[in-house]
Amino acid sequence: MATELHVGVAGLGTVGASLVGLLDKKANALAARCGRPLRTVAVCARDRTRDRGLDLSGCEWFDDPCALAVSPSIDVFVELIGGDEGPAHDSVRAALEAGKHVVTANKALLARHGVELAAIAEKNGVSLNFEAAVAGGIPIVKTMREALAGNDVTRVYGIMNGTCNYILTRMEQEGLGFAECLADAQRLGYAEADPTFDIEGFDTAHKLAILTSLAFGCEIDMDAIYVEGISSISKADIEAASELGYRIKLLGVALRTDSGIEQRVHPTMVPRSSAIARIDGVLNAVAVDGDTVGEVVLVGPGAGGNATASAVIADLADVARGQMRPALGAPVGELAPYRAARMRRHEGGYYIRLSVFDRPGAFAEIARIMADEEISLESIVQHGRAPAAAGKGCSPQPVILITYETTEAAVKRALATIEAQNLVDGTPQLIRIEKLA
């Protein structure tokens, strides 16, 4: 059998500890599949004394990830520390510069520095693999880089944050409020003590930035993503969506338009009959529309020690077999500059929930403002009394509007006018509808 692949693992937390355990437990099977043994020879974490449930007696210990990254004892450096700067960035750069292959699960690092790091890998003739960085255990990176080579991708979208999907699923299935579901997610360990990164959409945005580059052969541009989280979604929205034949999911969507590439993360109404609507709880799913194959949907666990380590092992297996591909699917010099489509030019249907003051003419005025912006209404849902029909009081009445396809700019202008004319109580709720087969 060929020589052992010597693996150095920086970070022995949720993913790193699972990885080291699995490489040991599955050593024989992996050696057979890869044609050579894979062995963890060196590790690094902050606390040397912590019991991680692993036998690390055969491993060299490093306190400094950068020292491990350049150690002559390793062939491949696995970065499982996290963060887009500091030790993760420094050690990955150092490893690539030292001619080591790198495997990482770090979406934040890739979203911010992916192009720079891919170029360093290319210059040094080593691979930079990151299957685990997008949707954890789902093999979407390899699918996009390899299996869909015969396709021009028109759109890629997905549920890529288990915390948000868990909250939205519980809200729908049990009729609970957002805060209660978030508290449960925290108690069960699905959400961090500070959940902002997940629930405000930034985690999904990191993953989307990477997927966009793979899908469209362009540079990564995190800052061009329109990001909106799920914290404004109420029980009323979930119930209305259900009544109208939709479910609400936090989607990351990237698509090619005439004016450039649109990247957006926001709560989205998806038809209940669509594949993505059926993804519940902490599961993730990524869908790719290819011009040759049609739609491909991959579903699986987006997080967790073993699920994520599964993806890391797939990348290590490629290294062991000597299979090298450009990190972002094409050599860095061939990546197109990212050309952003403006969000205000986004076209689609919209769900709008208004609390309309119950006074004569209010609703007629709203309809006129919509018409002025050439927004056609597909449906209008009112519960209880029709506004202004049941008396002269001023108490707000909920009204839900579903528009036909229009532009973001038109909808935003119409809502600004409606608010300015004091026709509604509070800020209107707006949720984009994604057109799905």
Considering only residues 7, 9, 12, 110, which one is a binding residue for ligand NAP as defined by CB under 6 A? Answer: 12
Q: List % helix, strand, coil for the chain (3-state, nearest 5).
A: 40, 25, 35
Q: Whose Cβ is closer to ligand NAP: residue 38's or residue 68's?
A: 68
For residue 138, the Cα-to-chain-centroid distance in whole angstroms is: 12
Q: Whose Cβ is closer to ligand NAP: residue 105's or residue 286's?
A: 105
Which residues from 287-306 bind ligand NAP, rule CB under 6 A? 303-304
Query: Min. distance of Cβ 85 from ligand NAP in angstroms?
Result: 11
Provide the mask over 33-52, with x wherever binding to ligand NAP is found by CB under 6 A and - wherever it is not: -----------xxxx--x--
Q: What count of Cα atoms within 13 Å lies in the side-chain half-sphere of residue 44?
A: 23
Considering only residues 13, 217, 326, 398, which one is a binding residue for ligand NAP as defined by CB under 6 A? Answer: 13
The piece of 5-13, 181-189, 269-277, 360-368 that touches ligand NAP (CB under 6 A) is 5-13
Binding flag, residue 82, ligand NAP (CB under 6 A)? yes
Provide the mask over 130-169, with x wherever binding to ligand NAP is found by CB under 6 A and - wherever it is not: --x---x---------------------------------
| 207 flagged as catalytic | yes
Instruction: Indicate the pairing of strand 60-62 with strand 38-44.
Output: parallel
Q: Whose Cβ is closer to ligand NAP: residue 137's or residue 387's?
A: 137
Provide the mask over 98-137, with x wherever binding to ligand NAP is found by CB under 6 A and - wherever it is not: -------xxx------------------------x---x-
**Which distant-in-sequence residues (6+ apart) come within 8 Å of 133 by Cβ?**
104, 105, 106, 107, 110, 141, 207, 210
Size of the site for ligand NAP (CB under 6 A): 25
Gap between the Cα atoms of 65 and 81, Å rounded: 9
Q: Whose Cβ is closer to ligand NAP: residue 46's or residue 235's?
A: 46
Closest to 431 in 3D by CA, of 349, 367, 343, 366: 349
Closest to 377 in 3D by CA, of 409, 344, 399, 361: 399
CB 285 within 8 A of CB 298: yes
Q: Whose Cβ is closer to ligand NAP: residue 59's or residue 255's?
A: 59
Binding flag, residue 65, ligand NAP (CB under 6 A)? yes
**Which distant-in-sequence residues (6+ apart) come within 8 Å of 408 by Cβ?**
343, 344, 345, 346, 347, 348
Q: Which residue is nearest to ligand NAP (CB)?
A: 13
CB 158 within 8 A of CB 276: yes
Instruction: Indicate the pairing of strand 226-227 with strand 260-271.
Output: parallel
Query: Which two tokens mark 248?
Result: 């609400």
Binding flag, residue 310, ligand NAP (CB under 6 A)? no
Q: Whose Cβ is closer to ligand NAP: residue 190's or residue 338's?
A: 190
The piece of 10-18, 148-156, 252-260, 377-385 that touches ligand NAP (CB under 6 A) is 10-18
Gap between the Cα atoms of 91 and 103, Å rounded: 12
User: Active-site residues: which are they?
Assistant: 207
Residues that bind ligand NAP (CB under 6 A): 10-16, 44-47, 50, 65, 80-82, 87, 105-107, 132, 136, 303-304, 308
